[in-house]
């Protein structure tokens, strides 16, 4: 039966034309740059004109004729609907005043620069209304098309469909687009060395293949959040001099059936066409999660199909192409074992939290753009931030600059950085919080107890400062600088537990009662005692047994890996360890009760006390922290003994001072 002419197709065509008109008449195909890149081009004399639009915080940039000739991709093309020549670049700016001041400053410094700045509006209200109507009509047409035309046809898995829903969303980074190199990546020397080798594989493949070697298929970057995994991949893109396809694991996920697998196929097809090439998948755990053995609901079929397609592409028939897959994740324990086997991800590079010298290098990178005071010492800042990741250090530098601006400083001082560290770790100071004098003295006694025990025990962490100023959710805190060690002995664990219980013990010694303020202390010592007994085999009664599961599968088990009798023994031993250290803290504080109360009085008087104040009351500390020394040879070739399995002290939560000694009171 002939249904005749369908008017709805006319609506679709008109709506699509109206929808794509502003795109064709605008600079949507123009490359976007940041302010630093713009000012760099201006200083080189490559900018002819910049047209600033106040209403959109964007600007069109027109290059000089000489600069345009050198850029192959930026040509003065006249689009069918455009009113004039397209801009060569597009700039998204933040503060217009700063943009103008910097622009005129550069021109004043170099009179030879002939760049001009103009202002305008991106469009009228009528045009905006017209575009909005067009977008709504286009959206309605698309909705009609997908719901009534596509739902019964398999969900758009065909890459040649009208809207290319099955096409890969990977961003292609060429040599000209890459802005990050290995010089911009501070620290991570071991990871950089391995990644550089991968880059060399692609550049000089014959060097390895002539000896019978094969280029690795995949490289997996594993490490805590903020350690620089994605930055390392960006540096690879800048150094590789080969096509670099970048996308996230979530880009494969779609509501339509078959789209994920189709995008994987298309991604590898594009990479093989431009071989040699690198594919980078960020947060690969979004699609690489271990497949379930019993899938009752069928909800994960699409994700598993996507993973199966990825496995096939990485190690299937006809994969003798120079394509390397790089991926990043902080959840390597949940990835499918088939994904991690040799022949797929051949190399697993662990990107750990930076050491002292690496933190110094990271500070040097981030401090380049900050106006520093002469009092700022990069090595001192590195020592003040144990357990901080690269992202944390970047946040410290930014927060210090904000604090300096808030206090109207001409430059960022050393104190601004210390305040920034305190702000990030402990939270914002709440000086206006009303506290009763009795509670304030109890808080002072509690914090003085922490400080006293840590001063009088050998292996406790060195004291940094003690404060009773409310900060975040805590009423007071005693902050320490944890030692950067790779191994922890039983004595060190016990001394640190004793220091953690020092606050609660001080309340018992002075008031003969305890409060609810030691909640975080009790939680910490309980977890540490549990780790000693069940993980590290540091208990005589349980023996040299560990119930730790490195695969991470134990969290899905309903039962315990030990009997009820053993569970009872474990509970008894944990309680025994904690109670022994609590009684030890009481004995130490009872013996030094007068000094404890003197320290609390000084704390109430000054609100913040430092190491020097404790030396006046207790004298010099009998033990000095041991300084770790690493040779250059050991840095380049670490042995397994120098990199043991992570211990409880090396986790970010326990290295940061705020987590060690935060005092919390429960609400009643």
CA distance 201 to 198: 5
DSSP symbols for 558-598: SS-SS-HHHHHHHHHHHHHHHHHHHHHHHHHHHHTHHHHHH
Per-residue model confidence (pLDDT) at position 570? 92
pLDDT higher than 60, residue 531: yes
Helix locations, 214-284, DSSP H: 229-240, 259-273
Give the chain's mean pLDDT. 75
Judged by average pLDDT, the poorest of 1-5, 39-43, 113-117 is 1-5
Q: Which class for 255: exposed (0-12), middle (13-18), buried (19 or more C-beta within 10 A)?
A: exposed
pTM of the predicted model, to two decimals?
0.61
Task: Specify which of 35-49, 143-157, 573-587 reaches the highest per-range mean pLDDT.
Answer: 573-587
Per-residue model confidence (pLDDT) at position 320? 57
Percent of the chain surpassing pLDDT 70: 71
Long-range contacts of 363-368 (CB under 8 A, 24+ apart): 363/393, 363/397, 364/186, 365/184, 365/186, 366/393, 366/394, 366/397, 367/397
* Helices 593-606 and 502-511, packing angle to 10 deg: 100
Per-residue model confidence (pLDDT) at position 402? 92
Instruction: For residue 637, give the DSSP letter.
Output: S
pLDDT band at 146 (very low <50, low <70, confident <90, very high): low
Partner residues linked to 323 by β-bridges:
277
CA distance 668 to 509: 24
Any idea which residues carry the catalytic annotation? 447
What integer is the mean pLDDT of 350-363?
A: 87
pLDDT band at 297 (very low <50, low <70, confident <90, very high): very low
- Residue 349, helix vs strand vs coil: strand
Per-residue model confidence (pLDDT) at position 10? 57
Strand pairing class (244-248; 463-467): unpaired
Per-residue model confidence (pLDDT) at position 555? 58
Per-residue model confidence (pLDDT) at position 640? 35
pLDDT band at 3 (very low <50, low <70, confident <90, very high): very low
What integer is the mean pLDDT of 342-360?
A: 85
Residue 312 near residue 358, CB atoms below 8 Å: no
Residue 142's nearest CA partner among 280, 20, 58 is 20
Strand pairing class (58-63; 89-92): antiparallel
What integer is the mean pLDDT of 448-458?
A: 87
Residue 428 near residue 473, CB atoms below 8 Å: no
């Amino acid at each position: 039966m002939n249904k005749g002419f369908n008017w709805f197709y006319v609506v679709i065509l008109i709506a699509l034309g109206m929808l794509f008109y502003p795109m064709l008449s605008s600079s949507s195909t123009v490359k976007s740059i940041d302010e630093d890149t713009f000012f760099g081009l201006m200083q080189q004399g490559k900018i002819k004109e910049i047209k600033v639009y106040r209403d959109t915080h964007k600007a069109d940039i027109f290059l000089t004729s000489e600069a345009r000739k050198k850029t192959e991709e930026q040509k003065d093309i006249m689009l069918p609907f455009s009113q004039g020549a397209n801009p060569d670049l597009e700039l998204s700016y933040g503060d217009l005043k700063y943009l103008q001041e910097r622009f005129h400053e550069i021109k004043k410094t170099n009179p030879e620069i002939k760049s001009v700045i103009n202002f305008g509006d991106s469009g009228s209200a009528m045009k905006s209304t017209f575009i909005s109507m067009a977008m709504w009509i286009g959206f309605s047409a698309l909705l009609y098309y997908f719901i009534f035309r596509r739902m019964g046809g398999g969900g758009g898995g065909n890459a040649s469909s009208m809207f290319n829903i099955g096409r890969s969303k990977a961003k292609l980074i060429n040599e000209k687009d890459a802005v990050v190199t290995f010089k911009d990546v501070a620290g991570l020397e071991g990871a950089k060395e391995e990644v550089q080798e991968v880059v060399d594989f692609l550049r000089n493949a014959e060097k390895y293949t002539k000896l019978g070697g094969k280029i690795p298929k995949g490289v997996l970057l594993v490490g805590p959040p903020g350690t620089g995994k994605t930055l390392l991949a960006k540096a690879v893109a800048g150094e590789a001099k080969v096509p670099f396809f970048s996308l996230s694991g979530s880009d494969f996920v779609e509501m339509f059936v078959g789209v994920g697998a189709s995008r994987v196929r298309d991604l590898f097809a594009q990479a093989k066409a431009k071989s040699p090439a690198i594919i980078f998948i960020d947060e690969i755990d979004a699609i690489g999660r271990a497949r379930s053995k019993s899938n009752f609901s069928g909800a994960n079929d699409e994700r598993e199909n996507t993973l199966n397609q990825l496995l096939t592409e990485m190690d299937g028939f006809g994969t003798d192409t120079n394509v390397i897959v790089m991926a990043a994740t902080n959840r390597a324990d949940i990835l499918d074992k088939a994904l991690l086997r040799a022949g797929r991800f051949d190399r697993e590079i662990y990107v750990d939290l930076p050491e002292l010298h690496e933190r110094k290098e990271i500070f040097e990178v981030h401090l380049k753009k900050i106006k520093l005071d002469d009092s700022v010492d990069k090595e001192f800042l590195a020592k003040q931030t144990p357990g901080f990741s690269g992202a944390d250090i970047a946040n410290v530098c930014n927060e210090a600059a904000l604090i300096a601006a808030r206090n109207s400083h001409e430059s960022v001082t050393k104190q601004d950085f210390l305040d920034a560290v305190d702000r990030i770790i402990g939270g914002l100071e709440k000086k206006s919080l009303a506290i009763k004098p009795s509670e304030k003295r109890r808080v002072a006694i509690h914090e003085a107890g922490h400080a006293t025990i840590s001063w009088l025990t050998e292996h406790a962490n060195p004291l940094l400062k003690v404060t009773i100023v409310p900060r975040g959710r805590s009423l007071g805190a005693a902050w320490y600088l944890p030692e950067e060690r790779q191994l922890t002995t039983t004595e060190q664990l016990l001394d640190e537990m004793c220091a953690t219980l020092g606050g609660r013990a001080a309340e018992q010694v002075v008031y003969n009662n305890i409060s609810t303020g030691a909640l975080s202390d009790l939680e910490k010592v309980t977890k540490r005692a549990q780790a000693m007994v069940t993980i590290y085999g540091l208990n005589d009664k349980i023996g040299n047994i560990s119930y730790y599961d490195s695969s991470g599968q134990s969290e899905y088990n309903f039962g315990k890996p030990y009997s009820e009798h053993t569970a009872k023994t474990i509970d008894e031993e944990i309680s025994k360890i904690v109670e022994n250290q609590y009684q030890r803290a009481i004995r130490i504080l009872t013996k030094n009760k007068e000094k404890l109360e003197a320290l609390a009085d000084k704390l109430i008087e000054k609100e913040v006390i430092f190491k020097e104040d404790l030396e006046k009351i207790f004298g010099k500390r009998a033990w000095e922290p041991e300084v770790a020394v690493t040779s250059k040879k050991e840095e380049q070739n670490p042995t397994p003994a120098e990199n043991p399995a992570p211990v409880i002290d090396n986790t970010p939560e326990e290295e940061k001072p705020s987590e060690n000694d935060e005092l919390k009171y429960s609400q009643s």
